[in-house]
Structure 1
């Protein structure tokens, strides 16, 4: 079995650098797809309350025969949580849905500063963390100005910031802010929903490496130090996306792919998204 490298978070929790994403996987397909990922070797599964498939992720982990301690599971707080009490109740529902007594990582899904007091929400996350029912807490889609509010108003530094990152949106400023403050970066939509796979530069690098465009793109993420979790419902693609550790990109390849940045999002802009 391939050993996936881990990233040590700011509270010493170790997270597998390669995971499996479940965004947009229908609940009725989630158990089987997640089981396929676990069988392929993934030990890090990412879900969210808003995905509607937490229950099936929990079923897959239990049905895999793996020890719960060997699978790193992340979920994220619904945007409907407006207050501390909302957040605490929502977390309880996640544990109940998945049939777990803890999560490895729990994130605030979106900042939504116009709709709620993000510091109050973060203080609820800190309570969850101190209870031991989440081994680490963090955020998703936070810009530096949102993070600075938490650092000023909270006592626990977020362990991760899960943001959209891919060769067309390298997010160097947000990643640099995270590095400065000990916040690991997780990359969602790492292939730009497939848009980068036909890019001539990436196809040229893939041909030189004898790998697929998806593999070289995911390898680029890993070598930049980010945590990445591609999503697929196809068993062959799930295995392909896991096969990233028998090759490496050289510095020229890395530079060439990074130069594709065009500040192009596939998802909402956190500065404008209001949930």
Structure 2
């Protein structure tokens, strides 16, 4: 595994696992929580230590349970969760605190490695007010790092201008056809590490064909080529799979490198 060093000095694995359909009936995002930790246990056995969840996913407790069941010390894991950008969690200091403590309880942990504002909203001053509460939890050591998700340049710039603690991560949608290059570049320029959610989604057949041809030279799949492209440009990836074999493939990215021409071809998809 390779690691990215956040602006806090903390290191996190550059590959993690998304979890938004884990522990749910029919593996559906809105499915009822069934507490099944099978996919998480498979991922842990393969070597995954970075897991991404959120209050909105309703399955923080499933992630926490899987970590307990693994028998591996909590300190070996990097857990990301997120507080929703909705009034229930943002309207005042107590609402923010309620969210943080709900996450801690569900995950059954005394600290969270990275805590994100899940998405922005129009009131930028209120975003800063929420951020200041999260900063207090960093001061207490309860949140080791804080960041944002789905922030565009306007929102991220405003937060950077008003924050005492700089966001460590900006988790954004990034995949072929929607690389989101501008916000990735802006984030990197400001020492905010970009993280791609849904990195293997919405890939057209045409794009798959191009990526497969590139991958054939290395004995890699089109999906591995996408993930390698992202990590080579400094983007954390959190692919998600319920299949153990594909989980393993998503980790097998460190035995090849893309040429400049290949990266240019991928960037143009």
TM-score, normalised with respect to structure 2: 0.90
Distance of aligned partners of 1:114 and 1:30 in 2 relative to their CA distance in 1, 3 Å threshold:
farther
SS at match of 1:28: coil
1:14 aligns with 2:23: no
Give the C-alpha shift of residue 152 in structure 1: 2.3
Question: Where do 1:230-241 residues align within 5 Å?
Answer: 230-241=239-250
Q: What per-residue deviation string (whole Å, max 9, x for no partner) do you get for residues 15-58 of structure 1?
A: 11010110233243652111111111111000001001100100
Distance in 2, matches of 1:134 and 1:162, equals 17
Distance of aligned partners of 1:247 and 1:22 in 2 relative to their CA distance in 1, 3 Å threshold:
same
Task: Tell me the equivalent position of 2:85.
Answer: 79
- Counterpart of 2:143 (choices 130, 134, 140) is 134
SS at match of 1:117: helix
Task: Tell me the equivalent position of 1:270.
Answer: none
Give the C-alpha shift of residue 174 in structure 1: 0.7
Q: What per-residue deviation string (whole Å, max 9, x for no partner) do you get for residues 33-84 of structure 1?
A: 1111111111100000100110010010111111111110000002331223
Kept in 2: contact 1:168–1:196 (CA 8 A): no
SS at match of 1:210: coil
Distance in 1, matches of 2:205 and 2:50, equals 24
Kept in 2: contact 1:31–1:57 (CA 8 A): yes
- Counterpart of 1:199 (choices 208, 214, 233) is 208
1:61 aligns with 2:67: yes
The gaps in structure 1 that reach 5 residues or longer are 261-275
Kept in 2: contact 1:168–1:192 (CA 8 A): no
Give the C-alpha shift of residue 180 in structure 1: 1.8
Kept in 2: contact 1:82–1:116 (CA 8 A): no
Distance of aligned partners of 1:116 and 1:60 in 2 relative to their CA distance in 1, 3 Å threshold:
farther
Distance in 2, matches of 1:240 and 1:197, equals 22
Q: What per-residue deviation string (whole Å, max 9, x for no partner) do you get for residues 104-163 of structure 1?
A: 000000011259811111111111211110110000000110012112222111000000
Distance in 2, matches of 1:208 and 1:163, equals 30
Task: Tell me the equivalent position of 1:179.
Answer: 188
Kept in 2: contact 1:5–1:16 (CA 8 A): yes
TM-score, normalised with respect to structure 1: 0.89
- Counterpart of 1:225 (choices 221, 231, 234) is 234
Distance in 2, matches of 1:60 and 1:120, equals 33
How many correspondences in the alignment?
Answer: 257
Distance of aligned partners of 1:153 and 1:137 in 2 relative to their CA distance in 1, 3 Å threshold:
same
Kept in 1: contact 2:65–2:107 (CA 8 A): yes
SS at match of 1:199: helix
Task: Tell me the equivalent position of 1:100.
Answer: 109
SS at match of 2:12: strand
Kept in 2: contact 1:74–1:105 (CA 8 A): yes
- Following TM superposition, the consecutive aligned residue runs of length 4 or more in structure 1 with deviations greater than 2 angstroms are 27-30, 192-200
- Counterpart of 2:179 (choices 167, 170, 179) is 170
1:45 aligns with 2:48: no
